[in-house]
Amino acid sequence: MPRLAFAPHVSEPAPITYKDAGVDIAAQDAALGAAKDAVRSTFTPGVLSDMGLFGGLFDLDRVDCGGHILVASADGVGTKLEVAKLCGIHDSVGRDLVQHCINDILVQGARPHFFLDYVGTGRLEPDVVASLVRGCADACRDNGLALLGGETAEMPGLYGDGDFDLVGFIVGSVARDKVLDGSRVRPGQTLIGLRSSGLHTNGYSLARKVLFERLGLTVEDRPEALGGVTLGEALLAPHRSYLELLWPLLQEDKLPGLAHITGGGLIDNVPRILGSCDAVIDLASWEVPPLFKMIVDAARIDRDEAYQALNMGIGMVLFVDDADLEAVEAHLASQGEEAIRIGQTVEAAGDAGVVRWA
């Protein structure tokens, strides 16, 4: 008779849950729950939806902007996030993100209406994510726009533990006759520079390599040149929003052009709206802040690379007609803002406008 064969007993493998795979939905819910009140505090009359829907709803008519042209932009914080991680401070980069995006549409004459955030991470830490979102919410509330929605994604394998990225999307609007697109920039206009509060959100890959690797500094160090603040505090100084300061001038049509000085510095950003003009800028017209001097001197880079990699102390450039110059400077002075005459527009020497040094 044939012998009976019995299959060996094989135990069933244990279940693999989503959490076992690295995605903790409960942690995500906890993070969003912790930030819920901050988000709702930003809602403006245009917001028609609450948190939790698939998309946010916004009514332009409720904010007296029916028929306006929509202006949208997206950006990230970049490697300033690495400094935030070293310092254990996360809300400030949320503010950086919002205020950077505000300035990006402000220079086209637009007022922001709502903002969307995106946080991608390897392992979701509820306190970190909640702090990032609260930072975005605080900046939205301070600048009068709604944090309309966002996304939090936990992606183990794509990001390492402790890694995260922060990205934002902004939508605003502008009346058709107030769009700033460079068409009103002409030779003979004065360029007024407004100070930055620090590096803002560009140049951090260079700054980190120079300050942390070449000079061997840490975020807790207090270089004498910085006047007593730590290096971390100097590097995390928030990206300024120029909205409240400049909005009255835009409403009065006193600014035919604006340039937000971000990645690319003065060299790349001013030409965006020059058209058939060149900009002649006098680099001696303002004192470069000590943090920039530290980076440039230690990096041993030339002048043009410095003014392309970093904002060098100027965060916004205003183009002003002679007839409005006195009024613009008076308004800025009334707000405690120094108006630095950094140069002027002239006839272009070539086919496209460029920055030239005086």
CATH code of residue 257? 3.90.650.10
Is the pLDDT confidence value at 6 over 70? no
Q: H helices then E strands: how many in the chain?
A: 11, 10
12 domain-assigned: no
User: Position of tokens 């549409």?
Assistant: 105
1 domain-assigned: no
Q: Which domain holds residue 172?
A: 25-178
249 domain-assigned: yes
Query: pLDDT, tens digit, for every residue of 59-100?
Result: 999 999 888 999 999 999 999 999 999 999 999 999 999 999
182 in the Ramachandran plot: left (φ > 0), alpha (ψ -120 to 50) or beta? left
pLDDT at 10: 62
Structural domain ending residue among the three candidates 127, 158, 178: 178
- As a whole number of angstroms, the distance between CA 324 and CA 253 comes to 9
- 2: pLDDT confidence band, cut at 50, 70 and 90? low
Q: Are residues 130 and 221 in the same domain?
A: no
Q: Are residues 141 and 220 in the same domain?
A: no
State the pTM of this model. 0.91
- The one-letter amino acid code at 148 reads L
Query: pLDDT, tens digit, for every residue of 288-323?
Result: 999 999 999 999 999 999 999 999 999 999 999 999
- 7: pLDDT confidence band, cut at 50, 70 and 90? low
List C-alpha distances in Å: 132 to 56, 85, 89, 92. 20, 11, 9, 8
pLDDT at 1: 52
pLDDT at 5: 59
Structural domain ending residue among the three candidates 143, 178, 213: 178
DSSP 324: H
- Stretch 209-228: mean pLDDT, rounded? 97
Query: pLDDT, tens digit, for every residue of 119-133?
Result: 999 988 989 999 999
- Stretch 145-167: mean pLDDT, rounded? 92
The set of residues, in sequence order, having a beta carbon less than 8 Å from that of 144 and lying 6+ positions away, is 44, 112, 243
Q: Are 270 and 317 in contact (CB under 8 A)?
A: yes
How many independent structural domains does the chain possess?
2
List C-alpha distances in Å: 55 to 68, 148, 149, 281. 21, 8, 7, 45
Q: Are residues 264 and 168 in the same domain?
A: no
The set of residues, in sequence order, having a beta carbon less than 8 Å from that of 345 and lying 6+ positions away, is 185, 186, 187, 188, 189, 191, 274, 277, 278, 279, 280, 319
Find the DSSP H helices in 3-49.
Answer: 25-40
Q: Which two tokens stand for residue 186?
A: 């002409």
